[in-house]
């Protein structure tokens, strides 16, 4: 069974540039707020319109970008062990589902009698999510697929999960957890612990490693990551009527070893003024808009973070080079997540 939720249908509506519409638009509000701060920043969730999601799928195929293929190999090698701890007939909920490629690997690991009773992918990019969900259901017609177009960090948008009355298990691959700052990561894990009581969360976590490996992963030779970063400005032009000149901004990504994170920025190539939703913003030459962090963890450091959110850390699987890790976190029944 394939279901389209009301949330996903509403989120896919085209945007107009009237002031009344923009005032209700979360991307517009957050971009205006981010451009008004010093230093300037915007949440990376806004990368993922249809074009941004397609570009990220291309990033995942790049030779320099190790996380996707490494995590996939871990899932392929240890999928049966993961399926065993997730349990039979679970309500499988994927946060930030994207193209739904990794869930296919995981689904193949379940025994026929233990398959999930339903799969609920959640993603902010409604159009991309709907298309990916249709493809998955066509390939797996036995699976109930119920996509929810929502921001999974906002519990109020997840009311459709009330229908998931069985044992809930979460799937959060790709080390998306690393895109959060420490407070946001803890907030997400606390939310997940509440939503998944009696079940648990399978989460991919990128590990601390050689900085050169990290530099290459976020500065690929083909420039796909640069196009992905710049697409944020293109999206603002299309959806918000902004006038960013993409030729006058440059992709810049570097590793900060003190904070154990990659930072991505868009650097202004010259002194310029940009107009967004009726507001003017002046950029000095070399000034940046901070678009993403990608934190890297140690295994023990992440287990401590998960425990502080109310989870009981369980098995951990890694590749031979210890580039990446996948963790099972149990959420005890009756728990509420750490306060």
d(CA 278, CA 208): 43
Across the range 166-178, mean pLDDT stands at 96
- pTM here? 0.89
- Mean per-residue pLDDT, 159-165: 92
pLDDT of residue 128: 85
In percent, the amount of the chain with pLDDT more than 90 equals 87
Question: What is the mean predicted confidence (pLDDT) over 95-99?
Answer: 90
* Calpha distance 180→235 (Å, rounded): 22
64 pLDDT above the threshold of 50: yes
Q: How confident is the model at residue 12 (pLDDT cuts 50, 70, 90)?
A: very low
pLDDT at position 9 is 31
What's the CA gap between 272 and 254, in Å, rounded? Answer: 24
**268-291: per-residue pLDDT in tens?**
999 999 999 999 999 999 999 999
* Mean predicted lDDT score pLDDT of the chain: 92
Q: Give 285-311 pLDDT, tens digit per residue.
A: 999 999 999 999 999 999 999 999 999
pLDDT band of residue 22 (cuts 50, 70, 90) is low
pLDDT at 6 over 50: no
Q: What is the pLDDT of residue 14?
A: 38
DSSP string, 58-114: HHTTSTT-HHHHHHHHHHHHHHHHHHHHH-TT-EEEEES-TT-HHHHHHHHTS-GGG
- Between CA 9 and CA 247 the distance in angstroms is 34
pLDDT at 336: 58
Q: How confident is the model at residue 8 (pLDDT cuts 50, 70, 90)?
A: very low
Query: Residue 10: is its pLDDT beyond 70?
Result: no
Instruction: For the chain, list the domains and their CATH numbers.
Output: 66-209+297-330 (3.40.50.150)
Residue 124's pLDDT is 87
């Amino acid at each position: 069974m394939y279901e389209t939720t009301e949330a996903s249908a509403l989120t896919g509506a085209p945007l107009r540039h009237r002031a009344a519409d923009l005032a209700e638009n979360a991307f517009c509000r957050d971009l205006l707020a981010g451009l008004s701060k010093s230093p300037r920043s915007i949440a990376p969730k806004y990368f993922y319109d249809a074009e941004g999601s397609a570009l990220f799928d291309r990033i995942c195929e790049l030779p320099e970008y190790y996380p996707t293929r490494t995590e996939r190999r871990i899932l392929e090698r240890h999928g049966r062990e993961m399926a065993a701890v997730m349990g039979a007939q679970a309500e499988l909920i994927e946060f930030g589902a994207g193209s739904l490629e990794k869930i296919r690997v995981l689904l193949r690991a379940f025994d026929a009698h233990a398959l999930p009773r339903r799969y609920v992918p959640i993603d902010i990019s409604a159009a991309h999510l709907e298309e990916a969900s249709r493809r998955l259901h066509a390939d797996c017609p036995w699976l109930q697929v119920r996509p929810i177009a929502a921001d999974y960090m906002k519990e109020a948008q997840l009311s459709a999960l009330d229908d998931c009355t069985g044992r809930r298990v979460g799937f959060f691959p790709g080390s998306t957890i690393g895109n959060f700052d420490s407070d946001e990561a803890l907030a997400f894990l606390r939310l997940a612990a509440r939503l998944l009581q009696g079940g648990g969360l399978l989460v991919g976590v990128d590990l601390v490693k050689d900085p050169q490996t990290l530099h290459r992963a976020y500065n690929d030779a083909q420039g796909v990551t640069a196009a992905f970063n710049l697409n944020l400005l293109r999206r603002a032009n299309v959806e918000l009527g902004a006038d960013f000149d993409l030729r006058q901004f440059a992709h810049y990504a570097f590793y900060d070893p003190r904070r154990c994170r990659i930072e991505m920025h868009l650097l202004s190539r010259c002194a310029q003024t940009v107009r967004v939703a009726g507001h003017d913003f002046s950029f000095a030459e070399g000034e940046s808009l901070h678009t993403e962090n990608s934190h890297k963890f140690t295994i023990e450091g992440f287990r401590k973070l998960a425990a502080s959110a109310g989870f009981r850390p369980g098995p951990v699987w890694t590749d031979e080079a210890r580039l990446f890790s996948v963790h099972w976190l149990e959420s005890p029944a009756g728990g509420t997540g750490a306060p």
